[in-house]
Amino acid sequence: MSINWFPGHMHKARKEIAKVMDEVDVIIEVLDARLPQSSENPLVDSLRKGKPTLKLLNKSDLADDQRTSEWLEYFNGLPETRAVALDHTQKKQINRIAELCKQMMPSRFEAGRPVRAMIMGIPNVGKSTLINALLGRKIAKVGNEPAVTKSQQRFTTRNGMALSDTPGILWPKIEDIDSGYRLAASGAIKDTAIEHEDVAIFAAGFMKSDYPDRLIERFKIKEVPDTSEAVLDEIGRRRGCLRPGGIVDRNKASTLLLNEIRSGKLGKISFETVEEWDEKRRIAEQERLAAEAAAAEESEGKE
């Protein structure tokens, strides 16, 4: 599933971010701890101009602890990058963010000047909630669906930081099929922009593969069915999502499953692993080298 969802305000936000980037010291990129790589916007890397980046794996309270630990190790191994897990309800974790930013820009802090940080991330990842927590009061508008913040907002904290909030921006085309489904299943993309049932079938297959015991426990299933569609149908039957004649209403079953995943009722889950993405990158590099070799061979043949 290749997703194209790039509303006008997102295009405008990208242009505004590029214009003010020279006035920013540190990028705070908020990721979804359940899908750290899929929720990492490639536009951020192109826009940040090499500035230090603090990656916050937000919603860590909903994510698989072991997989989160592996992602933190991966991100912390990248240049000019720090990464920490975040549960925005934990005040100690919120307070640590300012200190980490100061450590990444010691020259400004030692000169008594505020560290200028820009908060970036995809829709519905928790940026506005984070702003409110950092300020200790409700300033930024918060919603439980994507695309709530529509324009840049600037705030000053009492602990030596100047914060810029930005609208959640996706990139023009999400080409990785799995990433598209994961973003949709997590709620980063509006349900009206996707085929609801397709996403639920993907989610059912993921749970069947990675967390089958959660399905058995939550939906009182004796044995997980063989196919993703059968898993969704079984969930529908167990929860009474039925039409006349006992036919499963897949739309209702889809909504139920996705809501339970997003709310954490199926336990702490993570949609992807570092190992999986390492393999994707390895294959992509092989394909790139093969394409370059083929192009060079074709060019030599024409000479």
**Is the same domain home to 148 and 229?**
no
272 domain-assigned: no
CA–CA gap between residue 90 and residue 283 (Å, rounded): 39
**Is 21 within the bounds of a domain?**
yes
Task: Assign residue 24 the CATH number of its domain.
Answer: 3.40.50.300
Q: What is the extent of the structural domain holding 244?
A: 195-263
Per residue in 75-108, pLDDT tens?
Answer: 999 999 999 999 978 888 888 898 899 899 888 7
**What is the pTM assigned to this prediction?**
0.84
pLDDT tier at 234, thresholds 50, 70, 90: very high
Q: What is the pLDDT of residue 139?
A: 63
* Confidence tier at 170 by pLDDT (50, 70, 90): low
Q: Render pLDDT for 176-224 as a digit per residue (tens, 0 to 9).
A: 889 889 999 998 876 655 688 999 999 999 999 999 999 999 999 999 9
- Domain shared by 126 and 245, yes or no: no
- 26 plus 76 within the same structural domain: yes
* CB burial readout 59-97, b (16+ within 10 A) else e: bbebbbeebbebbbebbeeeeebbbbbbbbeeeebbeeb
Q: In terms of pLDDT, which residue wins out, 140 or 28?
A: 28
Predicted local confidence at residue 147, as pLDDT = 40
Mean pLDDT of the chain: 84
pLDDT higher than threshold 50 for residue 143? no
Residue 145: which pLDDT band, with cuts at 50, 70 and 90?
very low
Q: How far apart are CA 303 and CA 298, in angstroms?
A: 9
φ, ψ (nearest 5 deg) of residue 22: -65, -20
Please tell me whether residues 53 and 126 are part of one structural domain: yes
Radius of gyration (Cα) for the chain, nearest Å? 21
Cβ atoms 31, 57 nearer than 8 A: yes
Highest mean pLDDT among 115-124, 136-145, 159-168, 216-225: 216-225
Q: Which residue has the higher pLDDT, 2 or 170?
A: 170
70 pLDDT more than 80 = yes
58 and 151, same domain (yes or no): yes
| Most confident by average pLDDT, 14-18, 243-247, 297-301 | 243-247
pLDDT value, residue 149: 42
Spatial distance between the Cα atoms of 127 and 55, rounded to a whole number of angstroms: 12
Residues 63 and 161 in one domain: yes
Cα-flanking dihedrals φ and ψ of residue 185, to 5°? -65, -30
Between residues 70 and 132, which one has the greater pLDDT? Answer: 70
Question: Is the domain of 200 the same as that of 122?
Answer: no
Q: Buried b vs exposed e over 158-175: b needs ≥16 C-beta within 10 Å?
A: eebbbbbbbbbbbbeebe
Structural domain count, the chain: 2
Domain shared by 156 and 17, yes or no: yes
The answer on 40 and 139 residing in a single domain is yes
- Sheet of strand 81-85: strand arrangement: 81-85, 53-58, 26-32, 115-121, 161-165, 153-156
